[in-house]
Structure 1
Amino acid sequence: MIRLLKMCATRSRSDHSAVKRPRGRPRKTLEERNEGLGRQAIIKAAAKLFRCHGFNGTSTRDIACAVGMHSGSLFYHFKSKDALLYEVMQEGLRSAVARQMIVLLAEHDAATTLRQLIRSHFDTLLGPNSDFMQAVLYESRSLNTRQRNVIAKLQGDYEAAWTPVLQELSLTGCLQAEVPLARHLLFGALNWSVQWFDAKNGASLDDLTDAVMALMIRKKSR
């Protein structure tokens, strides 16, 4: 009997040790994953509608309908349409910064880096996910003061990252204008492209990039 009890105890310890303890964070439930996907779908749909009809011209019912939910369900994810706009704008800037970091972390000369920054910015403004940046450019007046200040800070930091590149080009005599002026002119010209650019007219984003570089960079004389 004693021998049998010892065998059972040994087996119990062995079975217990075979059960692995979960490591790290527990996996998200299916409901939690669906909730995250639903939130992203709302943000994407809102960005598109804000671009097409403006913030004031888009209702929460319009956004809810675009993602196939009841209008009241929208407030499960966002407490107001203003909060949703704020998230759309942050998403646009997060995407822009991520693109920019890829360029800045690469090891290139200043002229090549500027070209890639310009091309990246055109992608952000005119590429497949450009709805988000449209809100950044044209809907900040619909934010409250705190939100507007946060967006302005993020946008300012994004643009400031171009300054060292422009300074290096200026030191080598390649930049056509003083650095602060060149930066303002660059972003003014690039951002305005959303008002007139149409890929159907034959110009590509590479063509736009080449044109901007020709305007900003002075060719060295041989």
Structure 2
Amino acid sequence: MVQNKSSRKPSRSDNRKPEILDTAAKLFSERGYHAVSMRDIAKTTGMLPGSLYYHFSSKDNLLYSVYERGVSVIAAQVDAAVLCQDDPWDKLEAACGTHLEELLGKNAYAKVVTRILPQDVESIQPELSKLRGSYEDRFKVLIADLGLDEGVDQMYMRLLLLGALNSTLSWYHRGAGSPSAIAEELIKIVGQPIKR
């Protein structure tokens, strides 16, 4: 008896892409892009190295897919958190807190997006920059909605906030405050001089 394709169960190789992405995200976040080979990813997923190329044409292509998923997941979480707020400063604080929750939690994808800068991978820098920019644009809009004085450079404020948020990976440890508490303090520090 011949099964038609719609009733056929997907083969194991068809289901491996999410596993490969998760493994690559974990390894890239722990070791960095250049320290991880396709062979490392294949070994960790229990595949032959050549089998990875069925799903991803190159290591750069795999990184792009990891980065794309990372940006998508963080952006969706931030967008949902912002929707729950009315005040522009509360929206910015919610975005910062959610960004930190993703970054400091177990989200290897978020760590890849913040640790591997587009300029670190020259061959796909424009593509990674575009993905990262699409996420950072959320903060551009949130800051624009604050109604700041013309003397406040919104670009520097955005870069300061994102730099402070992303640097928590280098100093944060459990017990150093919750992501939402850190975000609240950061917004106080940034907002008080501006609100005067």
Q: Which runs of 4+ in 1 moved over 6 A?
A: none
Map 1:166-205 → 2, pairs under 5 A: 166-171=143-148, 177-199=152-174, 201-205=175-179
Separation in 1, partners of 2:146, 2:114: 27
State the partner residue of 1:37: 15
1:218 to 178, 184, 192: 192
Deviation at 1:165, TM superposition (A): 2.6
Deviation at 1:89, TM superposition (A): 1.0
Deviation at 1:120, TM superposition (A): 1.2
Q: Classify 1:90/1:185 alpha carbon distance in 2 versus 1 (closer, same or farther; 3 Å).
A: same
Is 2:186 aligned against 1:207? no
Separation in 2, partners of 1:178, 1:31: 53
How many pairs does the alignment contain?
A: 188
Residue 79 of structure 1 aligns to a residue whose secondary structure is: coil
Map 1:40-51 → 2, pairs under 5 A: 40-51=18-29
Question: Which 5+ residue runs of structure 2 have no aligned equivalent?
Answer: none
State the partner residue of 1:74: 52
1:82–1:143 Cα contact (<8 Å) kept? no
Separation in 1, partners of 2:67, 2:40: 19
Higher relative contact order (CA 8 A, sep 6+): 2
2:82–2:92 Cα contact (<8 Å) kept? no
Q: Classify 1:133/1:27 alpha carbon distance in 2 versus 1 (closer, same or farther; 3 Å).
A: same
Separation in 2, partners of 1:88, 1:61: 17
Map 1:109-148 → 2, pairs under 5 A: 109-129=87-107, 131-139=108-116, 140=118, 141-144=120-123, 147-148=124-125
Question: Which 5+ residue runs of structure 1 have no aligned equivalent?
Answer: 1-25
Greater C-alpha radius of gyration = 1
What is the TM-score of this pair, normalised by structure 1?
A: 0.74
Identity of aligned residues (%): 29
2:76 to 95, 98, 106: 98
Q: Classify 1:31/1:110 alpha carbon distance in 2 versus 1 (closer, same or farther; 3 Å).
A: same
Separation in 2, partners of 1:53, 1:180: 31
Separation in 1, partners of 2:94, 2:7: 38
